[in-house]
Structure 1
Amino acid sequence: MKFKLLNYITLTSILIILGLIFWYDLNWGFIFVPGIIWVLIVSIVSSNIQWNFFLKSISKGNPEVNKIALTFDDGPHPEFTPKVLELLEKYNAQATFFCIGRNVEKYPEILVKIYENQHIIGNHSFTHSHKIDFNNKSKWLDEINSTDDKIQNIIGQKPQFFRPPFGVTTPHLAKAIDETKHKVIGWNIRSFDTISNQNPDKIVKRILSKTKPGSIILLHDHLPGIFTILEQLLPELQERNFTFVTVDELINYESV
């Protein structure tokens, strides 16, 4: 609805400018202004999943309950994901792992470990390609359904949740999700742990300063620094009496 309204306003603006050009001999360069504004708006809203511009997503839970959700993207990883699982078990923390289909295909035994530790597994596309945001609906369906099939073949359950690569949403993705019926999960705390020159202490400090009841925290389990981050983060959050839960519990979602 929001996207249709934006398109309507843009088209109307172009028609008005065309009229002004013919009636008042305005410079033809003005005809490009609505299009430029459209591109800028779409670029901004696509990159902010919390704004729910193209599709509905959930980026936080109940702010009145002292529960938070740790979420890990881009795994499973053969070396780092098992270490993450060990730390989560040490602190009795449940989490949600948004897995890439091709990694699931390579490391099915790691996916089984995640599942056996009673964490939730979500869909994070099959390729996580840097060009994935240009996919049409058909290609998005291939990405999502292929990953669902891989995960279901390994653990016997189809993922209920989906997180877009890079957190970017598009009209074509929205159409695909409307068909697959996944719940789209965003976040309200981004750790920026993928930035190579980030100091783990700064990452932990940033997360701690923003964490509130109902927070969904974005982390990545394919990075070598994740173990150091969690070693500091988990005990500190635990001392603040936060309970680590899976996304479905945080948002009170019942699987069907």
Structure 2
Amino acid sequence: MYLIKSPLLLKWYYPSLVWNKSRSEKVIYLTFDDGPIPNVTDFILKTLKAFNAKATFFCIGDNIQKHPEVFNRVKNDGHAIGNHTFNHLKGWKTDNETYLQNTIKCQKLTQTNLFRPPYGRIKKSQIRSLKSMLLNQAFGSQINGTDSNLQIIMWDVLSGDFDINLAPEKCYQNVIKHTENGSIIVFHDSLKAFDRLEYTLPRVLKYFAKKGFAFATL
């Protein structure tokens, strides 16, 4: 079971995490988890370019190592990069030291101040450790002079594209029904999600572009 719209209670329980951006501007934030993946990532990049849209890719370190040329295409197209751990670890089932070291291993490749916990599952103790001075230094030393303040990015709209039992049209409806100004939307840059992503992404871009929305990086 999963929730398409992140509940207020969850946002209250994790107030230090970023769930959405300003509700006063007609900007939405498309995010893609789990890549880079050949063909799937290429489809995303081509579709975004057709709408002059920018997005944020939360990448798995192991996939970056396997597909460096695809990762470079994401960066060269002007999209933002986020850290999604090296091995897609589930924080609730991982001890803190292992989780932190795996995140740092990915950070050496992503060089970013954006982090998203896989599955959206992270312990409060892991949040504290990630935001500690020691780890911020580890992050900040690799961001090449940009703002080194770590941001842990969640979302307020989950497309459900990872659900193989979900019809592509339902995936599309999930997004257009729940998205508003400042929404952070999750799609997945993966083979598992591709059937629903291929159907939904161009339709979402077309729908919100017609309504005057911009698509920006985090």
| TM-score, with length taken from structure 2 | 0.83
Q: Secondary structure at the match of 1:233?
A: helix
Residue 243, structure 1, aligned to residue 196, structure 2: no
Structure 2 residue aligned with 1:79: 39
Check conservation: 2:11, 2:19, Cα contact below 8 A.
no
Q: Which has the higher helix share?
A: 1
Structure 1 residue aligned with 2:130: 177
Structure of higher CA gyration radius: 1
Check conservation: 1:135, 1:172, Cα contact below 8 A.
no
Gap regions ≥5 residues in structure 2? 1-5, 137-149
Residue 124 of structure 1 aligns with an amino acid whose one-letter code is: H
| TM-score, with length taken from structure 1 | 0.72
Deviates more, 1:71-80 or 1:135-144: 135-144
Gap regions ≥5 residues in structure 1? 1-46, 152-157, 248-256
Q: Secondary structure at the match of 1:57?
A: coil
Structure 2 residue aligned with 1:115: 75
Task: Name the Cα RMSD after superposition.
Answer: 1.8
How much has 1:78 moved relative to structure 2? 1.0
Residue 216, structure 1, aligned to residue 175, structure 2: no
Counterpart Cα distance in 2 of 1:120 and 1:114: 8
Residue 198, structure 1, aligned to residue 166, structure 2: yes
The partner residue of 2:105 within 128, 134, 146 is 146
Counterpart Cα distance in 2 of 1:172 and 1:135: 12
Check conservation: 1:122, 1:160, Cα contact below 8 A.
yes
Check conservation: 2:29, 2:183, Cα contact below 8 A.
yes
Check conservation: 1:138, 1:176, Cα contact below 8 A.
no
The partner residue of 1:162 within 95, 115, 137 is 115
Task: Report sequence identity in percent.
Answer: 30
Aligned residues: 194
Counterpart Cα distance in 2 of 1:67 and 1:81: 23
